[in-house]
Amino acid sequence: MFPKNAWYVACTPDEIDDKPLGRTVCNEKIVFYRAGDGQVAAVEDFCPHRGAPLSLGRVCEGQLVCGYHGLVMGCDGKTVSMPGQRVGGFPKIRAYPVVERYGFVWVWTGDAALADPAKIHHLEWADNPDWAYGGGLYHLRCDYRLMVDNLMDLTHETYVHAGSIGQKEIDQVPVTTKTEGERVVTSRFMDKVMAPPFWRANLRGNHLPDDQPVDRWQVCHFVPPSHVMIEVGVALAGKGGYHADAKDKVSSIVVDFLTPETETSMWYFWGMARNFNPKDRNLTAQIRDGQAKVFAEDTAILEAQQRNLSQYPDRRLLMLNIDAGGVQARKIIDRLVAAERAPA
């Protein structure tokens, strides 16, 4: 259950630096590669000659060459040439709209006529020297919506991430959920708490004391089709919290691009964008390593949850106040899917 008329993050540019990349997105088997003009390209991962995956081939002078018999495929899905063959009558394979932006490769898996790059969610922190970004990629065997639920309700941090970002107070402070058009925002503000280990490290990373009470916040933004951006941070207590002056806080944006692979598996592009010490590459690496550990804790839970749900498909789950963010986000997803399927 995912909208196909949408921009999804397919990969990062380094994944196609040296060779084509085969990846399934929204049930579509696609090969991504860097074409002649430096532009990214994406076509079906299926050679029209004998069905070999084009991703096993190579890029020669900007053109994708099948690794089996040398068929040369164009970015538009039309065969360009093949040794000793006239290719005019070869069947076209599907080409996918694809855009490189903000350090990611975005693919549109639905009707190409509707693919407008302007619809790609704006990322204020990308391509901005005041910010630094680090992240990674996990493959999970679960419906991507379980991850939407997970990220729109950070109550789980107390339990799943007890040793890093969890703390008892998350549990105790209620969340507020608002839906604004196609976006959902879930907010939690915890005043005068002690920072957990992850944030103590970041306070030190920004030359602030780590042994004093802080005001902590989490503001989760769901953006269709399945992106979740979470503003997180701590400020020295009483300095204005979320609105505190930059010198009194450390804050960042947890970046989550959730890309469906199939109905029950997903690609999880995770990372963190921060606007303190953006030049400090060691800090970037250190944060990424910390996040990698934290998010690995989620994968075990979510894959086990998926196995349970697959085994008991008829069970109704609870939808509590803490689940409101996920519930609202799923309603938006449902609406988008229904609109796509409606007769024109």
**67 counts as binding its own copies under rule CB under 8 A:** yes
Contacts of 86 (CB under 8 A, 6+ apart): none
**277 counts as binding its own copies under rule CB under 8 A:** no
Spatial distance between the Cα atoms of 150 and 138, rounded to a whole number of angstroms: 15
From candidates 56, 59, 137, 292, binder to its own copies by CB under 8 A = 56
Q: Are 50 and 20 in contact (CB under 8 A)?
A: no
Shortest gap between Cβ of 27 and its own copies (angstroms)?
10
- Region of 32-40, 239-247, 264-272, 315-323 interacting with its own copies (CB under 8 A): 315-323
Per-residue x/- track, 10-29, its own copies (CB under 8 A) = -------------------x
From candidates 15, 19, 35, 52, binder to its own copies by CB under 8 A = 52
| Closest alpha carbon to 31 in 5, 58, 49 | 58
Q: Tell me whether residue 262 or residue 275 sits nearer to its own copies (CB atom).
A: 262
Using CB under 8 A as the binding criterion, the count of chain residues that bind its own copies stands at 50
Q: Are 167 and 197 in contact (CB under 8 A)?
A: no
Spatial distance between the Cα atoms of 11 and 31, rounded to a whole number of angstroms: 11
**176 counts as binding its own copies under rule CB under 8 A:** no
Burial class (CB in 10 A: 0-12, 13-18, 19+), 197: middle
In 226-321, which ranges are continuous DSSP H helix? Answer: 281-311
Q: Tell me whether residue 39 or residue 172 sits nearer to its own copies (CB atom).
A: 172
Shortest gap between Cβ of 148 and its own copies (angstroms)?
12
- Region of 33-41, 77-85, 101-109, 201-209 interacting with its own copies (CB under 8 A): 77-85
The token pair at 242 is 């979320």
**143 counts as binding its own copies under rule CB under 8 A:** no
* DSSP for residue 344: -
Residue 108 CA: distances (Å) to CA of 28, 67, 144, 161: 11, 26, 17, 34
**77 counts as binding its own copies under rule CB under 8 A:** no
Spatial distance between the Cα atoms of 307 and 281, rounded to a whole number of angstroms: 39
Bond into 225 cis (ω within 30): yes
- Region of 34-42, 51-59, 204-212, 263-271 interacting with its own copies (CB under 8 A): 51-59
User: What are the residues binding its own copies (CB under 8 A)?
Assistant: 29, 45-46, 48-53, 56-57, 65-70, 82-85, 90-91, 149, 153, 155-156, 158-160, 171-172, 174, 300-301, 304-305, 307-309, 311-312, 315-318, 320-323
